[in-house]
Structure 1
Amino acid sequence: MQQKKSPSHGRLAGQERRDMRLSIRLRTILALNVFVIGLSILLGWIAQDVAGRVVEERFVKEMVGSASGFLRGRSYPKSNAMMGYLRELFHAEWIAAEENPTHIAGSSLSDPLTEDFQRKAADLGTSGVVFLGGQRYRFDSASVDAADVRAPRASQGRLYMLVPDAQFQQARQRARASVARVLWPAAGAATLIAMLLSFSITRPIRRLANEMDRLTDAQGPSDPAERALAARRGPKEISRLTRSFHELLDRLGAARLRVAESERLATLGKICLSVAHELRNPLSGIKMNVRVLKDRADLKDDPGIDAILREIDRMGLYLNELMTLAPGDGPLSREPSTAPTKLSGLAESVLTILSGRCRHARVAVERHFPAEEPSVLADANQVRQVMMNLMVNAVEAMPGGGTMTLRIQSAPTGIRFSIADTGKGVQVRDGNLFEAFSSGKSNGVGLGLYLSRQIIDRHGGHIGYDSSPGGAIFWFELPIQTENAKRQAEPAGNEPS
């Protein structure tokens, strides 16, 4: 009896689903906000640092270029007074040096700072950073010709401009304020985007949760069209998860069908086992009495007695086939008792049993067996049963007579045994021909080919068919007996000492 769910159970389940959605949403929002804010701070700091350096260098270079252009070509003295004038004009410190940079002609700096610069001038380049009196200066320079009161001719020298780092701090602070003004709208936009993303992620997950609830309530899977639409919505990963979940549902449905089929086979197997046991005992008695009759002198060469024995053997094979359906202790539930076997010999033994039936059905038999045929490791009784099923099907496919061709040839995976008929081909009405209860004949049960496939699979082989309007070819392949397998199959007493 199905247990009815209480309303509190439904409320708890709904609360758990809401908590799950909220958790995913919060994690998405927090993760995206942290990422956007951190990235904004990092990019702002990098942009501020890089842009500040570029602006500082360009600012200093442009000012020193302007000053050198102002002085070049004019007879202005390179004196302290002129450097002080330039400081008032450009709001920066200036130093004029001779061709030797350690010879200072004029400076707007104090004497201690000027002497400090003079000591470091020989190691300085044309631009860069210098520390004077513990303060950081960014400097640049340009060559300039100017009159010198101590020389009767114009002298070649270099004009240095020094800007203290404190003058750039205000610009950096404005850049930080700009980054902060951008940061809050970015965080708001990130929150909105994260909410939209979280909804797009949780919506397909809620659909999957509803699908699971539907399965739990034994309502069955949803409509295929609705499932296909759900698989196309949402992010790529969620869509993939949805498709995988639906594939899992399909496999579950197929597994249920296989379980139902197994139950049917188990029931049928029990019936077949009972019937086979009831028939085998009287059949054995009949066969024994026929052999006794055959031993009589007047019936030793009677063809009718031989025909009776062949039909008894054929019935024995059919009873063995019925017993393979028995659950638990049937032949298919045990490992095959393999031994080196020639397929041609098995085929001839089956043809001996079916010879009378072939003559009655006007079916000619053609054999194409190689002279040197390799052996296969097989259970002779089980493989003979497969051959019997395939040959009987071939004879029944030619009710008006025809030709049945048996062929043994090599294959990439071993040895192939094929049976070709000249009938009308195979017409499968429903499902795979080798599945249980699937038959191409109107009066077929659909167990012969199913059992044949089970036997060949347990031997590590393959079975299949090719069909055309001019007939069908059924075949199976078995691995060739290797030397290692041959040694393993030999009895212990035959091993060399």
Structure 2
Amino acid sequence: MLQQELLENISTGIVGLDADLCVRFLNPAAEAMLEMSSARIAGQNADMLIAMPQTWVETLQQARREKHAIVRRGLTLRLHNGSETQVDLVVTPLQDGGPLAILAELQAIDRLLRISREESLLSAQEATRSVIRGLAHEIKNPLGGVRGAAQLLARELPAGELHEYTEIIIREADRLRDLVDRLLGPNTRPTFELLNIHEILEHVCQLIRVEAAGHLQLDKDYDPSLPDIQGDRPQLIQAVLNIMRNALEVLSEQTDARLQVVSRSQRQFTIGSKRHRLVCRVDIIDNGPGVPDALKPSLFVPMVSGRANGSGLGLSISQSIINRHGGLLNCNSEPGNTRFSIYLPMDATHA
């Protein structure tokens, strides 16, 4: 019982097989890695776990035949959904004569690279926000003085055309102040409460349908078993709306515009330096032209936009909101398939 509990709580994927190479056990990390449930695959042959399983099965057979551990570094596994994952594979034959004859350990290499990349991304985003906060302070203080001086000057001037100039100064000062406030994102701390993520997604989908005015095919694929999460409803609505509105603008000139919203749970997922037993993942997928390669490194940087009329603030604000919820927002894009993925912890507690 203790061994079972240990296997279920480690981040390495573990596949237990009997002497006939039939699957008897997958721990949660292996289920997430192979996108296969233990209940569904139990009793089936190991070659059913992945597509194109030749090297995988040969390694298992070799370990069974030679009765010692076999290691394969950088093995590429193709999953049944068409995606690929790179792993370090260690196959160990067991000698105790129990129901399990072989243990296969799967350490995802791409997952480690992803974690390192995300830690760098979170660090860069925090540095960017610190710079913006400092810049906002330096701008808003003298801006308030300029506006106040313009108001005092307007009172002293005789009525006439000169008032037009002070009105311009006040109006432009207000515009700059609003821009700085938008750069800073939401100016209130999140108020956390239990939320149904699908209620938020449905609310945003209704808004997008109205804005699209029949121009968009909107598909939804929800996991109804997802439990409630801790979050700030208005802020999460704003984060999702910014992403979907950004996609809608990209698709505006496309006749076959399609947007898909998918919700799933994901086990043993690391955000920054913290590993969560369970996270809520929301994918927002569009079939637009994709993010230009030159824009990808700075996609979430404020004031950076790939559109002539874009403000470059929507995605930055969404990333800031998701980060405040202890989550992560990232993007994978190629022509015809751009996927923004929101990860929100379902085991998080907030003060």
- Asked whether the two chains share a fold, i.e. TM above 0.5, the reply is no
Larger Rg, first or second structure (1 or 2): 1
Normalized per residue, the structure richer in strand is: 2
Higher relative contact order (CA 8 A, sep 6+): 2
Q: TM-score, normalised by structure 1?
A: 0.32
Q: TM-score, normalised by structure 2?
A: 0.45
